[in-house]
Amino acid sequence: MATGFLAILDDIAALMDDVAVMSKVAAKKTAGILGDDLAVNAEKASGFVSSREIPVLWAITKGSLLNKLIILPIAFLLSSFLPIAITIILLLGGFYLGFEGAEKIYHFFVPHKKNSKKEELKQVETKEEILALEKERVKSAILTDFILSVEIVIITLGTVVGEPIVEQIIVVSLIAILATIGVYGIVALIVRMDEAGYYLIEKSNKESGFKFKLGEFLVAALPKVIKGLTIIGTIALILVSGGIFVHNLDFIHHLIPEAIPSMIAEFIIGLIFGFFAVVIVKLFIKAKKRMFN
């Protein structure tokens, strides 16, 4: 009896050993996409009034966890019984991410009526209007998170193909949970930089002290960090989009000259597909307006 129990413990230890090794490999392979995820979500979670930043971020985090709960079982089933569906889903996600990135660039160069998040939140007058705007932003963030989560899950799944199903489930689920906690934990720290700065300023005894200077630095740095993340987030969307097409469509991969660095190639491909998606959406909107006017 004791021998059987020890054998079970030995099997569990061996399983955890294998899981740890595979998780380390998967973490390395998804590091780039996690960085993109951080940049994109930090940009999407910013721009709200201070008192609403954490509630909004918590709503996005819950949505992200729900995304993982939906994606994981579907990914395991499709990977086993219909692997082609994984590629189709990834390509559709690539179009969406490319569209979002290209649309931001388009709006930067072409005048448009759409205001920034902060301006929109300042213009609304009632609590209901503020909550409606927040709900819209949260939905957009969760949808983008869903697509990035699919990419993370698929890449992780690719590192454990051929392993026993139990190990696949543990490794992929572990990376998915760590991705959510890690990304949104860092995003929370970023969007609350100014609050931490004001707290340090308030608690400092003199203006020349370390606390005061650090507080001033954090308050002054936040707008620059957010602006930088907005740019990085846009680039990240296009890079992830291009990466999806390059790695899942062989003919595109073979069209790229070997002399071009992979990152530049993926950015160009993401930009092409992104602007193609923007044109299609705008034509669809125009056609819809003509039909109903």
Q: Is the pLDDT of residue 2 over 70?
A: no
pLDDT digits (tens, 9 = 90+) for 91-123: 887 888 888 889 888 888 886 654 445 555 455
CA distance linking residue 148 with residue 41, whole number of Å: 10
**Quick one: pLDDT at residue 5?**
45
Q: Which helix (H) or strand (E) holds 288?
A: helix 262-292
Q: Is the pLDDT of residue 272 over 90?
A: yes
Q: Is the pLDDT of residue 27 over 60?
A: no
Counting the structural domains of the chain, the total is 1
CA distance linking residue 290 with residue 293, whole number of Å: 5
Q: How far from the centroid of its chain's Cα atoms is residue 133's Cα?
A: 20
Per-residue confidence band for 280, with pLDDT thresholds at 50, 70 and 90 = very high
**Quick one: pLDDT at residue 279?**
92
Q: Is the pLDDT of residue 200 over 70?
A: yes
**Quick one: pLDDT at residue 11?**
44
Mean pLDDT estimate for the chain: 75
Domain that includes residue 128, residue range: 2-292
Per-residue confidence band for 275, with pLDDT thresholds at 50, 70 and 90 = very high
Per-residue confidence band for 34, with pLDDT thresholds at 50, 70 and 90 = low
Q: Is the pLDDT of residue 221 over 70?
A: yes
Q: Is the pLDDT of residue 1 over 80?
A: no
- Helix/strand/coil percent split, the chain, to 5: 85, 0, 15
Per-residue confidence band for 7, with pLDDT thresholds at 50, 70 and 90 = very low
* pTM of the entire predicted model: 0.66
Own/partner long-range contacts of 28-33 (Cβ < 8 Å, ≥24 apart): 29/155, 29/156, 29/158, 29/159, 30/152, 30/155, 30/156, 30/175, 30/179, 33/148, 33/151, 33/152, 33/155, 33/240
Query: What average pLDDT does this structure show over 245-258?
Result: 82
Query: What average pLDDT does this structure show over 6-15?
Result: 46
* Residue, of 24 and 90, whose pLDDT is higher: 90
Q: Using an 8 Å Cβ cutoff, are 187 and 57 in contact?
A: yes
